Amino acid sequence: MIDLDLTEEQALLEQSVREWGAREVAPRIRELDREHRFDPKILPQMADMGLLGCSVPTEYGGAGMDYISLGIVSEELEYVDTSLRVIISVHAGLNCLTLLSWGTEDQKQRYLVPQAQGQKISTYGLTEPDAGSDVRGIQTVAVKRGDRYSITGEKMWISLADVADNFLVFGWTDLEKKKQRDPSGISAFIVERGFKGFSSSTLKEKWGILAGNTGSFKMEDVEVPEENLVGRPGEGFKIAMFALDQGRYTVAAGATGLIRASRDASIRYAKERKTFGVPISDHQLVKEMLAQMESDYQASRLLWLRAGFLKNAGRRNTRETGLAKWFSTVASERAASDAVQIHGANGYSDEYPVGRFYRNCKGAVIYEGTREIHKLMQADYALGARQDRPTRCELPPIK
C-alpha cells in the first residue's frame, strides 16, 4: 500500500529545501539567468544540507535518505530554477546512485564518498555530437593496454562539464561489436578531470537553463586505470540505462516542480491583473488553463511518487519512471506555455519568471529520452512487446 502522506523527516526536508531556495537563490536567479552565469557557491551550500548525497547511505558519506526524498529535493529545486535540479540529476542521480549499485568497494571509497559529501562534483558522459537517443551511435573508444585503458572521444551536452571533478564515461571496448552496433561491446569508466588528455569547454549558445553549466569534453588518449572500469567489460550499455532510470526520476520530479511554479506565478498574476473591469482570474478561459496546471501537477506528483515507492521497495521501476518522466515533462511544457499566455505581453518579458520557465522546460522534453522515445516505450509496454529483465546490479532498497 502506498502512503501518500510524507513522513515527518520528508516534510522537514521539503520545508528546508523550499526555504533555502526562496532565501538564497530565488532573489538572484533572474540575474544569473540574464548573465548566463553558473554560481559555484551554490554547491557547498547544497553539500552542507546533505543534498548532494541525498539518497547515498551514511556509510558512504551520504545523508541516508530514501528515494522519495530525492524526488522531493528535485521538485523543490526546480520550483526555483531548473539549473538547481540539473545538479541533483547528474551528480546524485546519474552518477552517485550508479556507483552505489555498480561500483566496487574501492570505487565507492575513492569516488562515491567524497561525491556524497560534496567534496567532489560528478556528472555523466553518454551523449555525443552525433549520438543522443541512438546510444549505439557513440564513437568513443577505450583500448586496453596492459592494466590501463586509453580512451578517445568527445561528449556533448554535458551538464556541469566545466564544473565536475569526476565523469562517468561510456565507450566501446570491443571494436568488432562497434562495427556490428552490438551494445554489449560498450563499457563504463570513471574519468577524472585531472587525467592527462582531458579537456572541457562551455556551451554558450543555449536557449534555456542559462544559470546552469553545460558543455562538452574531449578525451585524447586519456589513460584510465583498469580499476576505474565500472561493472564488467561490456556492461556499459546496461549501466547507462540503469543510470538513466535514476536521472529520469529526478527529471520527472523536477518537471513537477516547474508545473507548480507556473501555476503559482499564474495564480498571483491572474488575481492582480484586471481586464474589462475584473481580475483575469474571473475569465473562464484563464480558469481553464489554471485548472489544467493543477490537474497536471497532481498527476505528475502521483507518478513520480509511485516510482519512488517502487525504488524504496527495491522493485524494478523502469516503466513507471519512464511514464513519469514523459508525462511530467510534456505537462511542464504545457504549463509554462499557458503561464506565458496568462501573463500576456508581460509573459514575453523576463521581468516575470514565466518566460524563464518556458525556456527551461523544453530541455527536459528532449534529454534523457525524448518524448517520442518514451511514447514508443510506453506503447511497447502496453502491447506486451517490451518487458524489463532483471539486471546484475539493482538499486539497494530502503530498509
Task: List the catalytic residues.
Answer: 368
E runs forming strands in 226-343: 229-230, 274-275, 278-279
Beta strands, E only, 120-213: 122-125, 141-145, 148-159, 166-172, 186-192, 198-202
Q: Angle between the 318-343 and 371-383 helix axes, to the nearest 10 degrees?
A: 140
Tell the residue number behind the cell numbers 543555449, with chain if given: 206
Grouping H, G, I as helix, E, B as strand and the rest as coil, residue 275 is strand
Eight-state DSSP code of residue 140: -
Closest CA to 90 of 255, 212, 221: 212
380 Cβ neighbours under 8 A, 6+ residues apart: 386
- Distance between CA atoms of 150 and 45, rounded to whole angstroms? 36
Record the cell numbers describing residue 186, joined without a space: 560498450
Give the cell for residue 365: 522534453
Rounded Cα distance between 301 and 76, Å, is 12
Report residue 297 as a C-alpha cell: 501537477
For residue 384, count other CB atoms closer than 10 A to its CB. Answer: 7
| Closest among 118, 208, 105 to 166, alpha carbons compared | 118
